Structures are given as structure tokens and as C-alpha cells.
Structure 1
Amino acid sequence: MGYCVFVRWGGIAVSCFLIFFSCLLPLRVCAEESLNAKQQLENQLTQLLSQEIAQWQRQAGLKSVEHNIEVRVPSGAVKLKICPEPLQIDTGGGLVFGNVQRKVLCASQAWSLFVRAKVKVTARLPVANRAMKRGEFIGAKDIEWQPIVLGASDRDLLTRTDDIIGRQVSRKLRRHRAIQLHHLSAPQWVNIGDKVIIEARSQGFYANMAGEALESGGEGEAIRVKNLSSGKVITAFPTAKGRVSTVF
């Protein structure tokens, strides 16, 4: 049961209850603003990180990616007022895997702070179905797709089988682990004696001709190639299987 006590002073009735309630009101409003500011931080950072994960998924060409984001707002956020405009959040320089930290700014309220988040990303990736040693070549039978939980160390991931099959292992591959670029050697596009197409480019000029590789090489490596039409030996760079490029 509620009680209301009136005190008559100078002909004016005053409710002690209302006076008491009005004294508490600023504290209550402050608490609500702090809660809203915390929620604003959580919501907008979660949205940004989700967008970055979606962008990575599109670039990687992956169909199945799941994620969970746990934002950890500093305790000092209880003193903040809600920002009337969208928060300014720094974009990250790397992939959104594992523990991340972003600077958040509210210009109109003149506050900024660093907010951390724990991001768990699970992606269905092509992986080796057995342990593979250095020097082995990867065949289609060695690859299967598995859901993999990614961490901060999972950089330069190979997400397409075309980038894996046919390449040589340069670092030991563990079974059902994400394959990274440094695990494999550059693809050997050309072998000694291969018949190749020489692509010649200059300013406003392009031509291709038949050639023969005098050396083996992978992408970006300079090799000697013989022009079968002129018999001239030139330096060219493998660009794909059976194709080399040179500039005149």
C-alpha cells in the first residue's frame, strides 16, 4: 500500500513523496542514458564487424560462413551519454578473426574509447584429408570440405580448390586444418621443354607466338624461352599453365 503525506506550509500543500521522487529522477535518467550508450556501442560495433565478415566471405567466394560476436564494453561506459548521431568506428587493418579492438568516437558528446570484441568465425573450407609432408603434390583426392573455426593467425587463407590442387607442399599440412598461402609453393606453370604461348606487350601493341621453354619456372620467375618463329632466345615470365609474358 502506498502512502502520501501532505505538509501545509504557507497555504501550499506539498507532497513529500513527489519531492522524494523528483530527487531520484536525475539518477534514474542518468542510468537509462548509460544503459543506452552501452547498448549503442554494442549494436553498432556488432553491425560493423558483421559487415566486414560478409565482405570477406564475398571476396573469398565462400558459401557457408557463420559467426558469433561478443562485444566487451569498458566499465567506464557507464558515465557516457548516448550519442545522438552514428558512432565513428575505426576500420580494422586485418581480418575479423579472434580478439579485435576498435576505437569508437562520439564527436558531439566529446568522448572516445577503445572497445574490444571476441569474434568467432566458422567457415566451410577446402582442407587436406590427411597429413601431407613437404614435397608432396596435392591431388583432388587429397582435398575435402570441412567447417573450420578461424583464429587471428589464419591469414592468407586458400579458399578455392583451384588454388590448391596441383601445387606442392612447402610446409607440412595437418589434417583438417585451414590451408594458408605459405603452406604451398608457387605453382610450376612451365617445365623444361614445354611448348608455350609467348605473349608480347608494348605500348599499344600485343602479339602472341609459339615458343619452347628452356627452363622451368613458376609465377613471377624469369625463365629463358625460345621463339620458334625467329629462333631467338628471350626472357619471359610464366603467367599461367603453358603461357609466358614478355615486354618489348
Structure 2
Amino acid sequence: MSKLQHLTQLTMQLLCLTKTDSFRVLCARWFGWVLALALSHASLGFAADTPPAQSAIEALQTQAQQWASSHPSFQGRAVHVAPIDNRIAVQSCQQTLQFDQPFPGQASVRVRCTQPNWQLYVTLNSGNAPAAVARNGLPAPAVQKVLIAKDLLKRGTLLTPAMFTATEMPAPGMESQLINDPKLLVNMELVRDLTPNTPLKTYDVKTAVMVKRGQEVQVSAGVGQGFLITMRAEALQDGGMGEQIRLKNSESGRSLTAVITGPNAAKLR
């Protein structure tokens, strides 16, 4: 009970004690009505002062718009999150969501949460896309360009465009998860087996590991500078194309850093 309600109660009790018995009965009823009304207003006031918590989807949309406002791919444009497949349960994130665009040129954006730990791919669209209508009057499923595997591809396969065929097919709820540009397959590998005629999705691939820890790497120096020196070194960490890793010279034992240029190959910076 607030100080105001408590003071009101004491005042009414003192007033009621100073009157006749019949007046005290009426006073008690009036006092009960006034106190109930005060409590009701206090409850309504508290509820009005407490803003409703955002749902997980609303929080994702808000933070996505904030991120897009400063990202070169979306800067200056009003964006919205495309509808998410209703089979995917979006958990509320206790931290600020992290956004990145692992596939440049596509509207597919990766959303990551650290507490609890999860990640999701969504599409950030500009404006409102008109819904197509089928002959039966219901919304027609979206037709999407996709890359489908020609043959069975095993986990760990280094991908090339020749392994896929481009086609179009309905993909309701999967727009943000499909890879449709063969150029994006460069230096990518599968993280799971892919059966024939299966569309390739963003969560099927990762940056290929060109050098693994403990492997021997051919390191070159002086490329484009009029001389060329090569040496053998042991990789001290895994790395993908273009990444800088630490190595150990196999002859001198000295540590060095180099940029990966291909499978088991690197060059000194």
C-alpha cells in the first residue's frame, strides 16, 4: 500500500470514530468503496507505467533495422524482416543480437545470440512486396532461384559451380536460407551430406579449411617483387582462404605468420 493510500485510510478511520453509530455504518461502507477505488487506480497506474515486453520476433525486427541503418548494403533504406518459417521457434535473446552478411550480394543476413546460444538466417527486404495470388484465390508460393546438387555430395566436399544446376522452384518460408549465386560457392565446403536435386542452403556450407593444424605448408615469399623464396612450415592452426595463420619453420623452428593462398599453401605478408 502506498503512503497516500495509508494516509487516506487513517483519515477516514478518525472521521468515522467521531460520529454516531448509524453514521459509522455508512462511513465504513463509504470507506470500503473509496479504498477499493484507490487500489483500483493504483493498479491501473502501475500497469500503465510498465511497458509490455517485446516478443522475440519484435526484438529481432527492431535490432535488425538498427543494424541495417549503418550497414552499406541497406543504409538509407527502410527494411523489414521477411516472414520466418513458422516451424522455426525464435527464442528470446538475453543479449544484443549480432548481425552479419556472410554471403555478400544477397539479402540473407545471419542473426546470432550468445545467451542462449543460437543463430538464424533471415532476409531483410526493402518496402512491401505485393503478394502473388493463385487461381484459387490463395497466395501463390514464391518461386525462387535455387542451386540443386547433381549428385550425392559428401560432408567436407570442396564445392564448385559445376556440381550444381540452377533452377526455379517454390520455396515458401525458405527465401532467406537458399544460395542462388554460384559465385558464392568459391572456397566453401559442405558441413553435411547433400542428396541429389536438393536445394543448397546457407546452413549447408561453411568457409573451407585449406590448411589444418599440424600439416606441412608450402610458404612462399617475394611473389611479385622480382624474386621467389619457398620454405616448408608446420601449421599451428586451421585456416581458410585469405586468413592469416601462425606457422613454424620446419628447419629453423622460428615462428612466422602467413596468409593462406590455397590448399596447404601460404605466402608471407
Instruction: Give me the TM-score of the superposition, normalised by structure 1.
Output: 0.38
Larger relative contact order, structure 1 or 2 (CA cutoff 8 Å, min sep 6)? 1
Instruction: Give me the TM-score of the superposition, normalised by structure 2.
Output: 0.36
When you count strand as a share of all residues, which structure comes out higher? Answer: 1
